[in-house]
Amino acid sequence: MQLALISRRSRFRAGTRFFRRGIDHDGNVANFNETEQILLVEEPGGSAGTYITRLSYVQIRGSIPLFWTEINNLRYKPDLLIMELEDTVRGLSLSYGLCRNLRRSQKSAMSKHLITQNKTYGHHTLVNLVNQKGYEKPIKEAYERYMAEVSKTLLN
């Protein structure tokens, strides 16, 4: 039996954890990588390289596909900023039309990301690993809200 573990890191939006977060307008998420596990089982008593079973499992992960960042400061936890949500842009005194356009670009980038992932990897099971309370709760809620909106668009 042979086991191989292959990890590939995307060249798009690469960077260290607190300096590169979120998604870009082309649908590339920060720190995206895939890990593939390959299991080859040889035939008992057969010649070397004669495999009766070949199994492969691919797991992908990346930053949450939203426009967001963490603003580095001297505190233990940096400030979390979700861009292009009504609450965030309202604080910047932007017009309602601009808020709508920003929201549309958020959904567009997320849709591009999901479409590309489905074309590349097929059916997905999404797992949200964001903390459900406290510091990360706003990004969790934004992710769930946008995912619900985008999935309606993609399924219709």
Q: Which residues of 42-59 are buried (b: 16+ CB within 10 A; e: fewer)?
A: eeeeeeeeeeeeeeeeee
Which of 144, 112, 148 has the alpha carbon at shortest distance from 28?
A: 112
pLDDT of 155 = 66
Q: Number of structural domains, the chain?
A: 1
pLDDT confidence of residue 127: 84
The tens place of each residue's pLDDT in the chain, 156 residues long, gives 889 999 999 888 877 666 678 888 889 999 899 999 999 988 777 777 677 888 999 999 998 898 887 777 776 776 677 765 444 444 444 444 545 566 678 888 889 998 999 899 888 888 888 888 888 888 888 888 888 888 877 766
Give the per-residue pLDDT at 39.
94
Note the pTM of the prediction, 2 decimals.
0.73
What is the per-residue pLDDT for 85? 47
Domain residues for 44?
A: 2-155
Residue 88 DSSP SS3? helix
Query: Could you report how far apart the first and last alpha carbons of the chain are, in Å?
Result: 45
